Amino acid sequence: MNSTINPNNSVSQKDFWDELHMDLLISRHNASFGDYHAILERNFIFSLFFRGCSAHEMTIIQKLLKFEDYGYLLLMEFTDLNKLDASDFFNDEFYLHHFIKNILKNSNNLVGPLINNRISILITHKTILPPDQQKEESINICNRLISEINNEFHIKASIGISSLRSIYSSYPSFVEVLTCLYYVKPEGVLHYTDITPYFDNQDFDYAESEKRLLEALRLRKTEAYDYFRIIMDWLRPFNDQVKRNKIFELLVLANHAVQMDNTHEAKYINYSSYVEDFMALKGDKIIEFAFQCFIYISSYVKSQSSIDYSNHIVQATKEYLEAHYTDDISLEDAAMQVNMSPQYFSKLIKKTTGFNFIDWLSTLRVKKAKELLTNSNLTVKEVCFMVGYKDPNYFSRIFKKRIGITPSEYIKSRSVIYQQ
């Protein structure tokens, strides 16, 4: 493909991407009450285990979401999700959330966001259950989740289960389920109380684990959390002074690794502010504090959705779509234009722009359709063919998904505006 790129055109390119992102966001605004409830649930779970949540916030959100005082955490890991584009895993942003809620409709639960290939689910109860009862209930729930998700999406999953405790001190639950995921078998379920045998006679190379941890952080891989957990398990038997020294050293190295490629976004961390609290902790509280600090530090990794405006592949793809959106083009066609395999091209576009190829193409076509419907007397059918669609009914569904109304309704709304 012979495309020329103007390096001085960064402002207009930024405007293009900002406008395209806004079109995508606006096209998804037509949410139901259930979707708003899902957003609140997901943000609360994220805050509870990744950002921290004050007792006052907990009390307010508990009244809104109506969950109980005690709970245990499930952390579900989709073992082959990386084979698919994330957008292909469910039909829309909330489908997986509502699907899980329907499976768990007989329990009081909160479903968190899908983060990479993992999703957290908090099952709550009014009182503390006997350990055997909680274990039996949770394993039954997990087996049902794994089975029904596999039937619906053809995706395999494994689940770790924490102990039951007060939701006001639930952070150790996250540490427990992370530990479970390291030992659980593929498509299996593992309760935290069943992992003790796995720790016996475990060979451990600290230097190698530290090296892999820092490399995973630099490459923004979720395996970083697994390596950190392995190191924390190794440190548990040591005395508190050894734990503090090793953890503090590791957190400084982790923060440096995160910032290496993201210095323009890195946030200053005042390590001295941690020392007083850190020195006062004992035993497993030191490990819990280490996990909180590690998640806080690693959250500075540059967002996957940020856009490299100067990327020549993205620029070439933009020019190709602008010239050929009226044609019957596919992901394979676009990939061929830039001499890439469809699989690698799809991943690159998703990573660089924050959305997938089909989203990009359909948003562009709908944008062009709006211009034609606004500035001409063309029929919906004529516009459909002019922007690259062959089926007017399918075009209407895509248009409504992006804009919130059908093309016919859009024409009527414009007519009312003109009359007024």
N-term to C-term CA, the chain: 48
- Same structural domain, 229 and 292: yes
Task: Please name every residue paired with 120 in a beta bridge, in sequence order, or none if there are none.
Answer: 75
Q: How far apart are CA 376 and CA 379, in angstroms?
A: 9
- What is residue 414's predicted lDDT score, i.e. its pLDDT? 59
Task: Please name every residue paired with 78 in a beta bridge, in sequence order, or none if there are none.
Answer: 157
Specify if 6 maps to a domain.
no
Angle between helices 312-324 and 357-375 (to 10 degrees): 40
Q: How far apart are CA 152 and CA 174, in angstroms?
A: 27
- Same structural domain, 53 and 166: yes
- Same structural domain, 75 and 105: yes
- Same structural domain, 254 and 347: no
Of 105-114, 263-272, 280-289, the range with the highest mean pLDDT is 105-114
Which tokens belong to 346? Answer: 């799809």
Q: How far apart are CA 184 and CA 170, in angstroms?
A: 21
Q: How far is CA 37 from CA 61, 99, 209, 323, in A?
A: 11, 14, 40, 41
- Same structural domain, 184 and 210: no
**Per-residue pLDDT at 238 exceeds 70:** yes
Query: Cα 73 to the chain's mean position, in Å?
Result: 18
CB 125 within 8 A of CB 108: yes
- Same structural domain, 334 and 265: no
Arithmetic mean of pLDDT, 363-392:
90
Q: How far apart are CA 199 and CA 7, in angstroms?
A: 56
When pLDDT is cut at 50, 70 and 90, the band that residue 135 belongs to is very high
Residues 6+ apart with CB under 8 A from 218: 257, 258, 260, 261
Arithmetic mean of pLDDT, 5-15:
48
Is residue 291 within a helix (H) or strand (E), and if so which, with residue range? helix 284-298
Final residue belonging to a domain, choices 195, 229, 246: 195
Specify if 9 maps to a domain.
no
**Per-residue pLDDT at 164 exceeds 90:** yes
Q: Which residue has the higher pLDDT, 383 or 16?
A: 383
- Same structural domain, 344 and 290: no
Give the residue numbers spanning the domain of 277: 202-302
Final residue belonging to a domain, choices 149, 171, 195: 195
When pLDDT is cut at 50, 70 and 90, the band that residue 268 belongs to is low
- What is residue 387's predicted lDDT score, i.e. its pLDDT? 93
Specify if 22 maps to a domain.
no
Range from 235-244, 381-390, 392-401, 407-416 carrying the lowest mean pLDDT: 407-416
Q: Which residue has the higher pLDDT, 271 or 192?
A: 192
Q: How far is CA 81 from CA 76, 85, 117, 148, 158, in A?
A: 12, 8, 6, 16, 12
Q: How far apart are CA 405 and CA 390, in angstroms?
A: 20
Q: How far is CA 73 from CA 135, 165, 179, in A?
A: 12, 9, 12
User: Tens of pLDDT along 16-58?
Assistant: 556 665 555 555 555 566 777 888 898 888 888 776 777 788 8
**pLDDT > 90 in the chain, percent:** 20
- What is residue 359's predicted lDDT score, i.e. its pLDDT? 82
User: Tens of pLDDT along 117-133?
Assistant: 889 999 999 999 999 99
Specify if 266 maps to a domain.
yes
- Same structural domain, 206 and 159: no
- Same structural domain, 184 and 266: no
Q: Which residue has the higher pLDDT, 171 or 18?
A: 171
Final residue belonging to a domain, choices 195, 215, 250: 195
Which tokens belong to 410? Answer: 């859009």
- What is the average pLDDT score of the chain? 78
**pLDDT > 70 in the chain, percent:** 76
- What is residue 123's predicted lDDT score, i.e. its pLDDT? 96
For the beta carbon of residue 119, count every other beta carbon within 10 angstroms.
24
The answer, as to whether pTM is greater than 0.75, is no
Tally of structural domains, the chain: 3
Specify if 382 maps to a domain.
yes
Specify if 97 maps to a domain.
yes
Specify if 120 maps to a domain.
yes
**Per-residue pLDDT at 110 exceeds 80:** yes
Arithmetic mean of pLDDT, 216-245:
79
Arithmetic mean of pLDDT, 327-351:
84
